Amino acid sequence: MGDDFVLPFDVDTLLDEARRRTAGLDDVGGGPFVEPLSIFVKSLEKEGRLNPIGKYIAQERCLGHIVNRLHYVNDRKLYPEIAEQKIEKPVFIIGFPRTGTTILHDILAQDPSNRAPLTWEITFPSPPPQTASFASDRRIAQCEAGFPPMDARRTLFKAMHPMGAELSQECVVMMGDTMCTPLFHNQFRVPAYQDWVDRDADWHHVYDFHHAQLQHLQSGHQLDRWVLKTGAHLWGLERLLETYPDARIVFTHRDPVKSLTSYASLTALVRSMGSDHVDRAEIAEDWTARLKRVLENVMRLRAEREYPQAILYDVMFSDFVQDQFGVIEKIYDAFDLPMTEEGAARMKAFIADNPQGKHGIHRYEPQEYGIVPEVVRERLQPYIARFDLRPE
């Protein structure tokens, strides 16, 4: 792919192209959006080390989120009844990266009472999905066609993180429609942008918009409860609990050496799709420091504040690996959720059909990323001690 495929990379051009793709929509709604878009674009240009393919991927990432934003805002005008939707007792799965959150989310999504956002509806949210056509919507095929061809990198990525139009999607992608998400620094090298996310982002707006997104998605297809997940909620946990005071939150925990090494491996692979200069050791050190800081804030928040309407439940990765359905039953008990025979049967069938390593084995070693296990465990000792996390 040559430079001819790439637009001039500036905010005005991106906004103009998004208006063209939406037949003239131009209202991005209230709250910060253009400013963080600008911060992201500038960081990409100065720090991203993108090759032409990477620049194209980054532009399409931006355009996808701008287009979605325009549609969400416009659909709220077209269908004002969306604003009447109630979001009650949503279930959130959060925790360090690579601690089993994805498979846990996918299992819970099998329960017919649980509503997980699917990749196709997050990618193409307009118009709001409808129950009658939810399994046959043309956007499913449209989304599936947008995945890259199954080359060696996608095969490796699938072993780390399964992907598909009808698989559950995580909130970190939805956050992209506010241009405030740790996802961008996972996919691209944008440390200045991530510094803004870490220190200056307006998480009130992120969760206000997240709430609007859930209202939008359930307005035509509502089940008993939402089941949602992303480690990115660690950044905005306080605002999440303000927005959803009756939230049910599953915290997943694992030996941080394993989770950080696995995340560094995933990040290096994803960045290599658009850059010829990926520094594994830099990735590991950068994310270790950032995750340490955000984890300390979460632990402080949990120690200092009480949320009488919310329920917080901790899950150890080692327990989950040994007995996945047993952990599911404990989550349902902790949150007082009814377990139907159909729901149990579907979740058990999914577990049986998706053993660890079904899509390949994700292999990684700390030394490949300059990670010294003893140093990581020393830096994260309070967290390790709090949850008695044994080395794997």
pLDDT digits (tens, 9 = 90+) for 43-68: 999 999 999 999 999 999 999 999 99
Q: What percent of the chain has pLDDT over 90?
A: 89
Lowest mean pLDDT among 68-82, 118-132, 134-148: 134-148
Mean residue pLDDT of the chain comes to 93
Whether the ω angle into residue 97 lies within 30 degrees of 0, i.e. cis, is: no
Give the pLDDT score at 364. 74
78 has a pLDDT exceeding 70: yes
Lowest mean pLDDT among 160-169, 201-210, 216-225, 295-304: 160-169
Type of residue found at 247: A
Cβ burial 220-231 (10 Å sphere, 16+ → b, else e): bbeeebbbbbbb
Residue 182's domain comprises: 88-387
274 has a pLDDT exceeding 80: yes
Q: What percent of the chain has pLDDT over 70?
A: 93
Q: Is residue 338 a part of any domain in this protein?
A: yes
Q: Is residue 26 a part of any domain in this protein?
A: no
Q: Are 381 and 296 contacting, i.e. CB atoms less than 8 angstroms apart? A: no
361 has a pLDDT exceeding 60: no
pLDDT in tens, 21-47: 999 999 999 999 999 999 999 999 999
Q: Is residue 107 a part of any domain in this protein?
A: yes
CA pair distance 310, 245, nearest whole angstrom: 6
- Reference 87, options 166, 171, 176, 182; nearest CA is 171
357 has a pLDDT exceeding 90: no
Q: Is residue 284 a part of any domain in this protein?
A: yes
Lowest mean pLDDT among 2-11, 70-79, 206-215: 2-11
Residues 7-14 have a mean pLDDT of 90
243 has a pLDDT exceeding 50: yes
Residues 172-187 have a mean pLDDT of 98
Give the pLDDT score at 1. 45
Q: Is residue 325 a part of any domain in this protein?
A: yes
Instruction: Check the CA dihedral 159-180-203-73 and report its sign.
Output: negative
Q: Are 260 and 287 contacting, i.e. CB atoms less than 8 angstroms apart? A: yes
160: confidence class by pLDDT, cuts 50, 70, 90: low
360: confidence class by pLDDT, cuts 50, 70, 90: low
Number of other residues whose CB lies within 10 A of the CB of residue 145:
8
CA pair distance 196, 178, nearest whole angstrom: 14
pLDDT in tens, 110-127: 999 999 999 999 999 999
Q: Whole-prediction pTM value? A: 0.94
152 has a pLDDT exceeding 70: no
Give the pLDDT score at 2. 45
What's the number of domains the chain is made of?
A: 1
Q: Is residue 78 a part of any domain in this protein?
A: no
Q: Which helix (H) or strand (E) holds 226?
A: strand 225-229
CA pair distance 184, 39, nearest whole angstrom: 12
Q: What is the CATH number of the domain that holds 310?
A: 3.40.50.300
Give the pLDDT score at 4. 47
The span from the first CA to the last CA of the chain, in angstroms, equals 43
CA pair distance 66, 351, nearest whole angstrom: 36
Residues 294-303 have a mean pLDDT of 95
Give the pLDDT score at 9. 87
Q: Are 66 and 28 contacting, i.e. CB atoms less than 8 angstroms apart? A: yes
Q: Is residue 377 a part of any domain in this protein?
A: yes
157 has a pLDDT exceeding 90: no
162 has a pLDDT exceeding 90: no
Give the pLDDT score at 192. 98
Q: Is residue 307 a part of any domain in this protein?
A: yes
- The DSSP-derived string for 187-207 is HS--HHHHHHHHHT--HHHHH
CA pair distance 317, 252, nearest whole angstrom: 6
